[in-house]
Structure 1
Amino acid sequence: MKDRVDVAVVGLGAMGSAVLYQLAKAGASVVGIDRFAPPHALGSSHGETRITRQAVGEGRDYVPFVLDAHRIWRELEAATGDSLFEACGALVMAPGHGETSHHGKPDFVRRSIEAAQAFAIPHEILDGAEVARRFPQFLGLGGDEKAYYEPGGGYVRPERCIAAQLRRAAELGAEIRTGSAATAIERDGSGVVVRTADRSIHADRAVVAAGAWTVPLLGAPFDRLLTVNRQVLHWYALDDTSAYRADAPVFIWMHGTTDTDYLYGFPPMPGEAQIKVATEQYATATTADALDRIVSPAESAQMYRRHVEGRFAGTTPRVAQAAACLYTVTPDRGFIIDRHPEHDRIHVVSACSGHGFKHSAGIGKAVAEWVATGASAIDLAPFSLARFR
């Protein structure tokens, strides 16, 4: 154990594992700290799969992150032999008329198309009739739907991605301390000291990527900016998988006007006869430690009735599994990547707001550059705290 390191990274989930890996890769002296033993099922980065898409309807400022992330996943696959990223294609679909919203952004399909055009991302624009012809697993389409299809999209495996980055970070010299919760971060001369129950870690800088545990650790002003919401994932059994061909994409399907009138999901994994789907809720807040991790049969039944029934070939209401996770959400559902307003040697990387994992590897690289040199190749200004003042 070193007496002092260049950077202490607090939280080793999606963002923290990526930052730790990139700092270690750059030759920095780093230590990573987590109260659990990532990858784990207690935060926001579990559940086997996460959608990735390059044309980001949440805003063009995000696109450089995910473009970098796709490259980094492939680099990690080559270095580790792990399978991390499956480019099965991504479909974003909405009604052909009327208003829609996703992650607080209106007309999300149009925004995705505009992002693809701006960054020359290969894509197709489809209507409902073409979606039904090419992807027969989608049922009940009226024919006039508007859809964005991205062949380079797909899914990443979050647990494997986190494990691969932590393993590579350790191989590159990073110290990793799990089962060790940070209890405070304080000034230490020109640097910081991160305190745990059994150790004080002195560092020139700290990166806090604690997700749903950010507010208990840092307090103001994050206590008024971050809300934790419980989200639920459902896997429904299929009694017929014939409609799910090899080119079956991941999907985001808006079927109403509000942010909760939609679902997202994944085709069956190889050798499985089930699909994973979920929606989102922002009405009920919780905390990381108070989260109800048990998904009731009534919740899965309601999800099936409202969002699944009649929309997917072969789907049954039989629940193969279910899980709860956490979103940590800002008022505008964007990210925070900035210095602590009262301590410029504490860098805060939170919150994902429900759409962060696909960006995480790219954010890790950008944050490592920023921490090491004071600037990054990707503009981080759109993710600053200043927008909330």
Structure 2
Amino acid sequence: MHYDAIVVGLGAVGAATLCQLALRGARVLGIDRFAPPHDQGSSHGESRITRLALGEGEAYAPLVQRSHALWRDLETRTGRQLMTTTGGLVLGPRDSAFLGRTIGCAQRFGIAHELLDAAVLRARFPQFALRGDELGYCEPTAGFVRPEEAIAAQLDVARAAGATVQTGTPVLALASAGDGVRVRTAGASHTTDRVLVAAGAWLPGFLADQGLADGLPPLQICRQTMHWFDTGAAAADFAPGRFPVFIWAWGEGEGESLYGFPATDMAAPALKVAGEQTLQTTTPEQIDRQVQPAESQALYRERVAARFPQIAGRVLRARACMYTVAPGSRFAIDTLPGLPAVLFASACSGHGFKHSAGLGESLAEQLLGRRTTCDLGPFAVAG
């Protein structure tokens, strides 16, 4: 069968793109080697922070603004709860570069916010044990998105709108077919006008195996860990409404930051926290997906204990995931030089889920030759 578009990889970006293609009446096929939502890649772990003002760069702001609207539309269509507004804090020293860019983004785009000094922060959020030199950016519309629910909702909407979804099906090859592309799996061969490859951490190996990696920026696959610490008797203090999502950077180096979430399951309330690392790399085939207790205890000892004294250190669970990191922690979205009908959308460098609904919409529009709602030009490899 011939399709208007085929999407390879149905995680955050791929599921969003497939959904938006189907809603626009396109004949579309989505293919994934697993059965999304799954826990093998980057789009799992119960929650992802969403915020409108972005220290990562102002070019991303239109994507997350559009994503918020699309999450609410998906909630209406499916009856699923996808996005929870809790308010959000970005904390750091007054000279923090990330904090400064966040404030600048909020000012440019008219995003409602407050700037709180340490005294006000202590009064409003006593859960945080501050040094006293912090400045807090407080955004009332920030919160978290449920990644597994969001992916499932988008695939449900895509199927209902006529999309074909094949899971448990690795794509083996892409090849030119006239003005379009032939996509081969173990059991079938499909032709299409356009392809989106949104394979996340599998993208570099997938394209390299076929000799199609020319033009792809160097991508690093970095293992990350997420940890849920029992809130114990302080459960009410860490519940949504009392506790925000947060990003806390007390320095500029690796190991000098932490981000986290209020409890999402009050039957087993936990403070979910994580750091980021980009010094050690892995592959999807080699990654250790088991998080050892020693890893959780090291994070607690080095970053959590002194900053959240109500948290005693009992770990309820921990998970590993992957970042696919491009130079400068940018997004990387472009066509393949050897196959111009193939568009790739990776990596999101660890900050993509909040943007994925809006990104999927604009990718769908680009695949269909239409004007995009959000400008994707800043994320081109040569951009």
Is 1:89–1:247's contact at 8 Å kept on the other side of the alignment?
Answer: no
TM (norm. structure 1) is 0.94
Residue type at the aligned position of 2:39: A
Is 1:191–1:202's contact at 8 Å kept on the other side of the alignment?
Answer: yes
Residue 186 of structure 1 aligns with which residue?
175
Residue 71 of structure 2 aligns with which residue?
73
Task: After superposition, give the CA deviation of every residue in 1:306-345 in whole Å (9 maximum; x if it has no partner).
Answer: 1101211421211100010000000110001111122210
Instruction: Give 1:122's match in structure 2, choosing from 106, 109, 112.
Output: 112
2:382 alignment partner, SS class: helix
Q: Distance in 1 between matches of 2:338 and 2:216?
A: 14
Is 2:238–2:271's contact at 8 Å kept on the other side of the alignment?
Answer: no
Residue 14 of structure 2 aligns with which residue?
16
Residue 305 of structure 1 aligns with which residue?
301
Is 2:215–2:337's contact at 8 Å kept on the other side of the alignment?
Answer: no
Is 2:172–2:185's contact at 8 Å kept on the other side of the alignment?
Answer: yes
1:82 alignment partner, SS class: coil
Is residue 165 from structure 1 mapped to residue 161 from structure 2 by the alignment?
no
Shift of 1:222: 6.3
Q: Distance in 2 between matches of 1:8 and 1:332?
A: 29
Moved more, 340-349 or 205-214: 340-349
1:163 alignment partner, SS class: helix
Task: After superposition, give the CA deviation of every residue in 1:165-203 in whole Å (9 maximum; x if it has no partner).
Answer: 000000000000000001111111110011111111111
Is 1:156–1:358's contact at 8 Å kept on the other side of the alignment?
Answer: yes
Q: Distance in 2 between matches of 1:181 and 1:207?
A: 15
Is residue 243 from structure 1 mapped to residue 228 from structure 2 by the alignment?
no
Shift of 1:270: 4.4
Is 2:215–2:336's contact at 8 Å kept on the other side of the alignment?
Answer: no
Is 2:217–2:381's contact at 8 Å kept on the other side of the alignment?
Answer: no
Is residue 323 from structure 1 mapped to residue 319 from structure 2 by the alignment?
yes
Residue 100 of structure 2 aligns with which residue?
110
Moved more, 336-345 or 33-42: 336-345
Residue 358 of structure 2 aligns with which residue?
362
Instruction: Give 2:250's match in structure 1, choosing from 248, 255, 274.
Output: 255
TM (norm. structure 2) is 0.96
Task: After superposition, give the CA deviation of every residue in 1:13-55 in whole Å (9 maximum; x if it has no partner).
Answer: 0000000000000110000000000000000000000000001
Q: Distance in 2 between matches of 1:192 and 1:143?
A: 59
Moved more, 305-314 or 363-372: 305-314
Is residue 136 from structure 1 mapped to residue 126 from structure 2 by the alignment?
yes
Is 1:243–1:313's contact at 8 Å kept on the other side of the alignment?
Answer: no
Residue 142 of structure 2 aligns with which residue?
153
Is 1:136–1:313's contact at 8 Å kept on the other side of the alignment?
Answer: no
Shift of 1:126: 1.0
Is residue 337 from structure 1 mapped to residue 330 from structure 2 by the alignment?
no
Gaps of 5+ in 1: 101-106
Residue 376 of structure 1 aligns with which residue?
372
Residue 261 of structure 2 aligns with which residue?
266
Moved more, 369-378 or 125-134: 369-378
Residues 84 and 235 (structure 1), Cα distance of their counterparts in 2 relative to 1, 3 Å cut? same
Residue 231 of structure 1 aligns with which residue?
224
2:368 alignment partner, SS class: helix
Shift of 1:147: 1.3
Q: Distance in 1 between matches of 2:337 and 2:295?
A: 40
Residue 204 of structure 2 aligns with which residue?
215
Residue type at the aligned position of 1:282: T
RMSD: 1.3
Is 2:225–2:275's contact at 8 Å kept on the other side of the alignment?
Answer: yes
Moved more, 261-270 or 324-333: 261-270
Q: Distance in 2 between matches of 1:147 and 1:378?
A: 29
Residue type at the aligned position of 1:129: A
Q: Distance in 2 between matches of 1:263 and 1:222?
A: 34
Moved more, 215-224 or 85-94: 215-224
Q: Distance in 1 between matches of 2:217 and 2:69?
A: 35
